[in-house]
């Protein structure tokens, strides 16, 4: 079996650096090393996020199914995992960056004025979406790739890299800052689109397998995986959760520009999408969601990324897995084996269930 790092050297392809809550990019080699003794080919990354883990498995020549509930993430999977050869060229960039300013494409300028980006930046975003929707096939990899570049540009230009508050003033006010990076925020969209295009093109490779990207609830997938990788939204012991739809609603809106307005919750200043129930966001619902999910995938090798202070507890997950799999092993990042943290610090964990 070839290792991730060796493969990178052989292929020169490289996963782009992204800024996303809960990304496992820093842990992928560790995850790959800990599962390499298992026999598997068909692999599901069913809470895929940035696709960092899918990409690691793609590098290892597995056949990968990337999945995420959010549409904007689906495009990440399409661009980086399903796509094996398409690249963005100068003509594509010239088209998508050309100034058209169609009056029907003014949603961001109107609804999000003073919320996340400056007026000029809002015009750029409306215009970019107009060009994408007018000149690119929505089912093409180029469409997914050019959207991905826009998402990365939007994220990097945001304080905290999120869309959870109306806080453009943090960028524009002339104050002394103890966080963030005004230079990073203020570089132009145009500059970032070109930068991310290069990074994305460099990440594309063919592993000779069929890889696909899906946009479904992980509970609704109907695929038999040899190995399923599970990295759900995290709820900490004090109950604070990561609601991905709420944190990234702006990007989700860009994926469905035409129907976007009707889905916005206008009662809130930062104009998020209306909430959609998801059990992974609720501390009183998440344990049952885990039991159902692990049962659903009981025929697969199960690999769970987790945090030592999560709800439900590691012990709960291990007990649940032990009812389904012959072997259950728990690893903690940076430690030889899992020991309950003495200083209460949250540790990155990996839980394996296999027969
Ligand atoms: C912790 S993140 C995954 C991070 C990912 N492993 C990475 O390295 O970037 C959890 C992901 O689950 C997705 N998600 C939330 N609820 C989901 C559901 N019911 N089905 C599938 N995906 C879901 C979120 O959109 C988010 O991208």
Q: Tens of pLDDT along 343-353? A: 567 899 999 99
So what's the pLDDT on residue 7?
44
Asked if pLDDT for residue 142 goes beyond 70, the answer is yes
DSSP state, residue 346? -
Say if ligand 1 is within 6 A of residue 47 CB: yes
CB–CB of 84/69 below 8 Å? no
For ligand 1, atom 7, the nearest C-alpha belongs to 23
Asked if pLDDT for residue 285 goes beyond 80, the answer is yes
Which residues, 6 or more positions from 60, have their beta carbon under 8 angstroms from its beta carbon? 1, 2, 3, 4, 7, 32
Read off the tokens for 353. Answer: 């269930």
Asked if pLDDT for residue 113 goes beyond 60, the answer is yes
Asked if pLDDT for residue 107 goes beyond 80, the answer is yes
For ligand 1, atom 27, the nearest C-alpha belongs to 49
Say if ligand 1 is within 6 A of residue 252 CB: no
* Beta-ladder partners of 254: none
Q: Tens of pLDDT along 13-33? A: 899 988 999 999 999 999 999
Contacts 24+ apart (CB under 8 A), 278-286: 278/69, 278/233, 278/243, 278/245, 280/232, 280/233, 280/235, 281/233, 281/235, 281/241, 281/243, 282/235, 282/241, 283/235, 283/239, 283/241, 283/311, 286/232, 286/235, 286/311, 286/312
So what's the pLDDT on residue 8?
44
Say if ligand 1 is within 6 A of residue 50 CB: yes
Q: Tens of pLDDT along 127-136? A: 999 999 999 9
Q: Is 118 helix (H, G, I), strand (E, B) or coil?
A: coil
For ligand 1, atom 19, the nearest C-alpha belongs to 217
So what's the pLDDT on residue 172?
85
So what's the pLDDT on residue 90?
96
**231 Cα–ligand 1 center, Å:** 6
C-alpha 300: how far from its chain's center? 23
Considering the four listed CATH numbers 3.10.20.30, 1.10.3720.10, 3.40.50.150, 3.40.50.300, the one that applies to the domain covering 1-85+213-232+277-355 is 3.40.50.150
**193 Cα–ligand 1 center, Å:** 25
**276 Cα–ligand 1 center, Å:** 15
So what's the pLDDT on residue 38?
98
User: In terms of C-beta density within 10 A (0-12 exposed, 13-18 middle, 19 or more buried), how is residue 139 classed?
Assistant: exposed
Task: For residue 20, give the nearest of 154, 207, 188 by alpha carbon.
Answer: 154
CA–CA distance from 3 to each of 28, 34, 85, 188, 302 (Å)?
11, 12, 22, 38, 20
Placement of tokens 């999560």 in the chain: 310
Atom of ligand 1 nearest to the CA of 289: 19
pLDDT bracket for residue 1 (50, 70, 90): very low
DSSP state, residue 25? G
So what's the pLDDT on residue 303?
98
Say if ligand 1 is within 6 A of residue 348 CB: no
Say if ligand 1 is within 6 A of residue 235 CB: no
Say if ligand 1 is within 6 A of residue 15 CB: no
**Arithmetic mean of pLDDT over the chain:** 92
pTM (predicted TM-score): 0.94
Say if ligand 1 is within 6 A of residue 218 CB: yes
Say if ligand 1 is within 6 A of residue 229 CB: no
Q: Is 329 helix (H, G, I), strand (E, B) or coil?
A: strand
Q: Where are the domains of the chain?
A: 1-85+213-232+277-355, 91-203+242-273
**243 Cα–ligand 1 center, Å:** 10
Say if ligand 1 is within 6 A of residue 290 CB: no
Asked if pLDDT for residue 287 goes beyond 70, the answer is yes
If phi over 0 gives left and psi between -120 and 50 gives alpha, with beta otherwise, what is residue 146? alpha
Distance (Å, whole) CA 106 – CA 123: 7
For ligand 1, atom 23, the nearest C-alpha belongs to 69
Say if ligand 1 is within 6 A of residue 120 CB: no
Mean pLDDT of 252-263: 97
DSSP 137-197: -TTSHHHHHHHHHHHHHHHHTSGGG--SS--THHHHS----SSS-HHHHHS-HHHHHHHHH
């Amino acid at each position: 079996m070839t290792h991730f790092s060796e493969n990178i050297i052989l292929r020169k392809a490289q996963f782009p650096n992204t800024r996303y809550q809960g990304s496992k990019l820093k842990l992928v080699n560790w995850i790959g090393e800990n599962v390499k003794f298992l026999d598997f080919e068909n692999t599901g990354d069913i809470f895929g996020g940035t696709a960092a883990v899918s990409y690691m498995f793609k590098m290892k020549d597995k056949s990968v199914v990337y999945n995420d509930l959010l549409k904007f993430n689906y495009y990440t999977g399409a661009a980086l995992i399903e796509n094996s050869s398409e690249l963005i060229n100068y003509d594509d960039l010239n088209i998508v960056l050309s100034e058209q300013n169609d009056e029907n494409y003014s949603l961001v300028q109107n609804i999000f004025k003073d919320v996340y980006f400056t007026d000029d930046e809002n015009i750029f975003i409306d215009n970019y979406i107009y060009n994408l929707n007018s000149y690119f096939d929505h089912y093409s990899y180029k469409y997914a790739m050019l959207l991905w570049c826009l998402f990365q540009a939007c994220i990097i230009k945001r304080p905290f890299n999120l869309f959870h508050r109306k806080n453009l003033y943090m960028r524009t006010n002339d104050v002394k800052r103890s966080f963030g990076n005004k230079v990073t925020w203020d570089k132009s969209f145009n500059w970032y689109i070109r930068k991310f295009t290069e990074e994305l093109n460099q990440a594309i490779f063919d592993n000779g397998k069929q890889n696909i990207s899906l946009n479904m609830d992980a509970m609704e997938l109907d695929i038999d995986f040899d190995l399923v990788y599970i990295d759900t939204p995290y709820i900490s012991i004090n109950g604070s959760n990561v609601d991905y739809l709420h944190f990234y609603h702006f990007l989700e809106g860009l994926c469905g520009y035409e129907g976007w307005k009707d889905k916005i919750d206008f009662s809130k200043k930062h104009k998020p999408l209306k909430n959609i129930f998801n059990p992974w966001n609720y501390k009183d619902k998440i344990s049952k969601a885990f039991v159902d999910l692990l049962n659903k995938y009981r025929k697969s090798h199960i690999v769970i990324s987790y945090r030592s202070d999560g709800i439900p507890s590691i012990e709960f997950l291990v007990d649940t897995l032990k009812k389904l799999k012959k072997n259950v092993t728990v690893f903690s990042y940076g430690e030889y084996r899992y020991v309950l943290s003495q200083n209460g610090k949250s540790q990155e964990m990996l839980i394996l269930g296999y027969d």
